[in-house]
Structures are given as C-alpha cells and as structure tokens.
Chain A
Amino acid sequence: KAGVTQTPRYLIKTRGQQVTLSCSPISGHRSVSWYQQTPGQGLQFLFEYFSETQRNKGNFPGRFSGRQFSNSRSEMNVSTLELGDSALYLCASSSGQGASGANVLTFGAGSRLTVL
C-alpha cells in the first residue's frame, strides 16, 4: 500500500510569508502527527490529530497550526515565517488507537522548508 506522502518536498520562503504543508497518511490510518526537525533541536513534536480533532499539542507558538480532514489528510500552516522556522517538517501516521505508545509511526519523507 502507498506510504505517507508529504508535499511539497522542498520550498523556499522569505520572512513574514506563510506556508502550508500537506500530508496524506497511509490508507486506514486515522492519526497524523507533525514534527519539526532541526540540527540543533532534533525532532520536536508539533501536534497530533485523530479523526479531525487535535489530540495533542507541543510547545510551539500559535503561528504553527494544523488541521485534519475527514479523509485523514492533514495540513499544517506556519504564518509570519521566521528564519528559525527553517527545518525539515515530518509527518507520521498511525492507527492512533490502542494503548498509548504502542502505535508504530510511519513517516513521510518530509518537507524541507528554507526561510530566507
């Protein structure tokens, strides 16, 4: 079956702009999580959606937002971009059910954002 698809793979923006990233999970997966990966901070949890509801949120400013659609596809948006937002944004899907921590995450290849 198809894996997790993230688009776009690469993008360049300038400070102050906004960006929307898309993630299509594995068919049947209802949970989508987003992570920001930078060399200095490693993988930082942004948020997790399950059946169109945000179930968990990380410690990021309100400029970072997301949503999930009825088909489980998810988007994340970053407004008023800052240089520090340059990162690899990773999306991961899972069934989202069962015992906490027992869900295996399947990651997409990521969207690499460069802010100039």
Chain B
Amino acid sequence: SQQGEEDPQALSIQEGENATMNCSYKTSINNLQWYRQNSGRGLVHLILIRSNEREKHSGRLRVTLDTSKKSSSLLITASRAADTASYFCATDGTSGTYKYIFGTGTRLKVLA
C-alpha cells in the first residue's frame, strides 16, 4: 500500500495566493522529501526534511513535519502560473533501505 497520501488530490488557486498540500504516511521515516512533476515529465526534487526537523524553508517553499501525526505539509507562497504541476511527497519507508515510496500527488493549478 502507498506509504504517502497527499491531499487534496487537486487544488486550483489564483496567482499570488498561497497553496498548501498535505502528506500523510504510515510508518517511521528517516527523511521526507517533496518533488514536483510537470505534466508527463520526470520529477524534480524540491526539499528534504529530516525526521528530527520540524520546519524547513527554501525560497517560497515551507515544509513542516509532524512525526507524531505522521504528516507533512508543503506551503508555496505567492504562487505563480509556473508552479502549476503535480506535487509528491516521498519517504524512505523502512529504516535502512533506499526504497522511496511516493504519495499519490496533489495536482496544483495556478490561474493567471
């Protein structure tokens, strides 16, 4: 079964607004990563947060991690049309493996 589940499945906002996506996972993790995928292309790494971190920033991105709730959120501030993409969280699932499990993704559409 999927380690990560994102919600919402789809999100449509106006340019300039903030977009928040959530990810839940099922087992203990070492790290959680977020990736972006433009339509039909490969994924691009956005940010990695370690299990002992609670929040991390990178440019307009803010990621939080709550290991007690097994959840993470990705906030994109001041969204742009170019942010239109699908966003996935990925976890390493079981400690000691290099098997990354991806969530189902959130499709974000930013309207100009």
Contacts and interface: CB of A to CB of B under 8 A. Distances in A.
Given A4-B42, A43-B88, A56 B31 contact: no
A88 B43 CA distance: 12
Size category of the binding interface on chain A: 20 to 34
A74 B6 CA distance: 30
A73 interface: no
Interface string A33-76: 10100000011010010100001101000000000000000000
Contacts, number: 77
B58 interface: no
Given A100-B96, A100-B97, A108 B42 contact: yes
Interface residues of B, number: 30
Nearest to A49: B98
Interface string B89-112: 011100111111111110000000
A96 interface: yes
Contact of A56 (B41, B45, B50, B99): B99
Contacts of B90: 105
Interface string B31-58: 1110100001111110010100000000
Interface of B: 2, 29-33, 35, 40-45, 48, 50, 88, 90-92, 95-105
A48 B98 contact: yes
B42 A110 contact: yes
A61 to B, nearest CB: 18
A2 B32 CA distance: 26
B98 A104 contact: no
Contacts of B43: 90, 92, 105, 107
A103 B48 CA distance: 9
